Amino acid sequence: MAGNIQFPSGLWTEDGFRTLTAPLQGAFFTLCLRPELGALGAMPLFLGRIAIATAGADKVSVLDNLRCLALAGWIVLDEGEEELFVPRFMEFNGVEKNPNRLRRAIAESESIESPIVRTAVADVLYRLSRIDADRAAERLCKVESGQRPKDRPNIADETRHAVYVRYGWACAYCSHQFVQVPTGAPEDEAAGIWLELDHIRPYSLGGDDTAANLRAACSTCNRRRGVDDLDLWADKTGGA
């Protein structure tokens, strides 16, 4: 599909694009040319493959660029589920004007696991104002979310508990204090947040599910971390 990409000429003068640094613009184009994006514009977080396609880049710098692009709204990134989506891809790809490509894009949307990406895809599909796209968007929003990929075992309860104890049942970022619970997720119902496990070194960069690689983070900080706090992330991982 990469050969069909046509970046609109107006892209260069769009404020959101013009204000990106040249390396980020380059990173965005490199990403848009990945064949794994298919017709829809969603793909697994193949940091290695993207790095190979980008001169002088390694997985860490690729992930940093993707985080910046996500922060600027050019991509949707789910590091936990290891999926990304380029919301404008179908526009670049002429999907609206090509029923065959739209059918392919809809078919591809069914294999997306990330709830964040599913929601973003549904959003784009709804905007096409076509009955088939609307139906696909409804399906995307209905599917149960939050499962881990099938090949990845759940983190053991003992590990989870040990991490929460290590952080004193508080969020490592905002220090929000939770009440200790014997099992399951500590929850603050009044604040509408709960405590989660956060990978210090992301799974996509080879981080594992051991207690040493996990920290406690509240649900709000955990969602924010991927795009908001690159410096903090770099500190905690030693920049690696």
Quote the least distance from Cβ 221 to Zn ion, whole Å: 3
Q: Contact with Zn ion (CB under 5 A): which of 45, 76, 163, 221?
A: 221
Q: Contact with Zn ion (CB under 5 A): which of 43, 95, 116, 171?
A: 171
Quote the least distance from Cβ 170 to Zn ion, whole Å: 8
Which phi and psi (to 5°) does residue 146 adopt?
A: 95, 0
Q: Return the range that interacts with Zn ion (CB under 5 A); candidates 12-20, 135-143, 166-174, 206-214.
A: 166-174
**Rounded to whole angstroms, what are the CA distances from 64 to 106, 115, 197?**
29, 22, 21
The single-letter code of the amino acid at 47 is L
Q: Is residue 216 within the footprint of Zn ion (CB under 5 A)? A: no
Could you tell me how many residues make up the chain? 240
- Measured CA to CA, the distance from residue 111 to residue 116 in angstroms comes to 13
- Binding residues for Zn ion, total number by CB under 5 A: 6
Q: Is residue 195 within the footprint of Zn ion (CB under 5 A)? A: no
Q: Is residue 164 within the footprint of Zn ion (CB under 5 A)? A: no
Closer residue to Zn ion in complex, CB, 109/222: 222
Quote the least distance from Cβ 167 to Zn ion, whole Å: 11
Quote the least distance from Cβ 186 to Zn ion, whole Å: 12
Using CB atoms within 10 Å of the CB of residue 77, give its burial: 0 to 12 exposed, 13 to 18 middle, 19+ buried: buried
Contact (CB, 8 A) for 76 and 42: no
